[in-house]
Every structure is written in C-alpha cells, then in structure tokens.
Structure 1
Amino acid sequence: MTGFSSRTDAHPHVFVDVTGSFVMNENGQLEAIRIHWLYDAFTTLMAMQNLGLDADNDGKLDEADLRRFAEAETDWAPEYEGDTYLYIDGEKVKLSAPQEARAEGPGDQIGVGFTLALDEPVEMNSRKATLKLYDPIYFYSYAVTPQSSVEGPIGDCNFEIIPFDPDQELAKLQSQLQALSQEETPEDPNVGAQFAETLELTCP
C-alpha cells in the first residue's frame, strides 16, 4: 500500500483490502455474507485521529479502541448497503445490518469484520450467487483478497474470485476519475459498479 503523498489529489481516496465469504449452514443453504475490510495506512491514521483512538500515544490500540472503531464502522444509515451487493440468479437479495462486528489493528493498518445475514437461508441447488463489492461513487476502492472463500459445506458448488480487470475503455475512465479532487464526485452516481470486485458461487 502506498502512502499519503500519492493520494491527496487522487480519486478514489480510500483503499481497502476486502475479504468476502459466502456462509453456508449445515444444510448447504446460503445464510449470510461475511465481510472484512482492512484499511490503508493513511486512512487508518485518519480514523484514529477522528475517533480519538490510542489516547496514550503508545502506537497500539487497546480493546476499548477496537470496540469503538467496530461500532463506528458498522453504525450504518438505513439506506447504506455497506458497498456489498448480493444477487442470486441475477435478482438482488436484501442483507441485514452488520452483526458480530469485530476490529483489529495489525501494524499500521486497522481492520473490521462483520456478518450480513439473509432474511432466510436460500437453497443453492441449480443457482448462482454473485457478490459485488464496490462503492457507487468510487470514493472507496476495494481489492478482493485471496482469503475470500466459502464457509461451511460447499458440496459440488464452484467458488470463484473475479477481480476487476479493466479493458481499455474502463482504464481510460479510471484515469479520468483519478483526476477528481476529494471535493468532486463523478457525474454517474453508480460509476463504481464498473470497477466492482466480484465473488461467485455456482451450484449444479
């Protein structure tokens, strides 16, 4: 991860390594999505300052700091979907507010994990679940980690990580967006969808 000097005038402004998991119950039904965000070092520093973490300035986050960060990161407005969008056979599926939030501060980065539950478990026979991870206005840039996975019995299902791989046209758009200042937003309010990182679970 790069540092502050290369990011102050660039768009996006926050860089996040995201680990996503499909959570299956013992019956092989999809019941939840597990998400973990690990922020870049500069964003971590800003978060610590804004939330008043590490009050003793020893460079370490104690349990109270981590609880406060986890609560702040998962206190979502009702309309916010956490940049996490689940589709089953192309139909969008509603997810719960964050549950089981937990934070940790490894090195100079801070991370938070949480669970988003489906309203009810979904039988995955002959179905495909697609999880798209992106910020609609591309203020945040997400990169899926290789640790993304399926938790629980997968049966004959196939899991795949599909990282964003821009073609020439999208690379040009990405370059244009990088010229935006922090105060500017893209004309397309859902432009980030074009840069989505994707996880797929396909079941026979």
Structure 2
Amino acid sequence: MKRSFFLLAAAFSLLPVAADAHPHIFIDAQFAVVAAPDGTIAELKNVWQFDEVFSSSVLLDFDKNGDLNLDASELKAVGKTVRESLGKYNYYTNVTLNGKPVPMGKPDVMHADYKDGALTLTFSLKPVEKTPLKGLLIFGIYDPSLYTAVDFAEDTDMATTGAAFGACKRKVVRPNPDQIIAQNQATLTTLFFNDPMGTNFSQLVATRLEVQC
C-alpha cells in the first residue's frame, strides 16, 4: 500500500495514527445553511478545499492512468471513497437546536474536483427530520480527533440563505484556544489530548455559527 493511500485511509477512517493532537490535514471550508420556504432547514451546503500536500497524496493514489491529473472517473472514485469513509463521523458536521443534536443524512453524492494542485469536495447534507428555524441553532464543522483542521477564513464563509432567516439573528463565534486551555486546565491532561476516540477540545475551540430565531 502506498504511503499516500495510507494517509488518506488514516484521515478518512480515523485510525489510531489520528490520535496525535496536531492537525496534519488542512481544509479551507465554506458552508451555507439553506432555509426552506416552510421555515425549516432545507440543506447545509459545503465546499472543502484541501491543502496541497494532502491533495498531492490523493493524486498519487487515484491517478490510475498516470497523467498527473484526475479525470472524471478518478474524481468520482475520490468522492465515493470520502462519502463512504466519513459517513460514520457525520462529515465532521455538528448541528444542535436548543442544545439537542440534529442528525444529518448522508449526501446523495460528493463531488470532487482537482485544480491548481488542490482537491476540492462539494456536497450537501440534509436533516434526517424536519428541523424548524426556531430557537438557538448552532452549526460547527470540526474533526474531534484534531487530525484535520477545518478553517473558515472569513465570517462570510459561514452563511445563511433563504427568506426564513430574515427573522433570525446570526453571529460567528471564534473561541480563543489560549483562553479555553486556561479555563479548562484541570481537565486538559495528556490523556485527554491523546484519546484515540477524540475529545471535546476540538468542539470547544471550533469556529461556529450561532443563529437565534
């Protein structure tokens, strides 16, 4: 098995190597929460662009014809692999309504693109059940294992769209990791950071979108 394929498998299957608390894969992300006409969540649209090092490793493993590019069939294979592998981890997507988790279904398809040395994945998630825009909704996208860093460069990268959001207030929260560590020193032990099952530290420091309707 090629080393690059091992990295892909480790990232998308969260093998024990992912217990390291330092990110090894970096994603520049965007998402938009789309409101349905009836005032519920229609879908959560995602665009993930991976760093060049990881993108190169994917190219090495999926470029079956060796032309240093990913054609349509190869990109389809990438999308299928990620869709199957990340499903059990909810695609790093965490949504709550008034403190209760909102389960999201699998995307119908995950579109992959490779351009200028970067792999980009585009996909949509829909709530398993109707979820009204009523109360406090919190949207966070993060990897509990801390193996993958998901970054939203601008507040506008966490968007809401649809007339139903007109009655809502929204804000992007960017926690300060140093403050989080200082506030939780008693529980942030070495074991905490190296738990292969993941910890809630990533949840504490993850950028999130809060919508009050």
Does 1:144 pair with 2:138? no
Indicate the SS of the match to 1:38: strand
Indicate the SS of the match to 2:76: helix
Does 1:116 pair with 2:106? no
CA shift in 2, pair 1:119/1:10, >3 Å: closer
| Residue equivalent to 2:80 | 71
Instruction: Name the structure where helix makes up a greater proportion of residues.
Output: 2
| Residue equivalent to 1:155 | 166
Tell me, in whole angstroms, the C-alpha distance in 2 between the residues paired with 1:106 and 1:163: 30
RMSD: 2.8
Indicate the SS of the match to 1:47: helix
Task: Compare 93-102 and 77-86 and name the one that shifted more.
Answer: 77-86
CA shift in 2, pair 1:114/1:108, >3 Å: same
State the percentage of identical aligned residues: 21
TM-score, length of structure 2 as denominator length: 0.74
Give the alignment partner of residue 202 of structure 1, picking from 185, 208, 212.
Answer: 212
Indicate the SS of the match to 1:111: strand
Tell me the alpha carbon deviations over residues 3-47 of structure 1, each in whole angstroms, 9 at most, x when there is no partner.
Answer: xxxxxx982111111212212112231132222211100010111
Contiguous gaps of at least 5 residues in structure 2? 1-19
User: How many residues in Structure 1 have an aligned counterpart in Structure 2?
Assistant: 183
Task: Answer whether contact 2:175 2:206 (CA < 8 A) is retained.
Answer: yes
| Residue equivalent to 2:69 | 60
Which residue identity does 1:158 align to in structure 2?
K
Task: Answer whether contact 1:54 1:62 (CA < 8 A) is retained.
Answer: no
Contiguous gaps of at least 5 residues in structure 1? 1-8, 178-184
Indicate the SS of the match to 2:55: helix
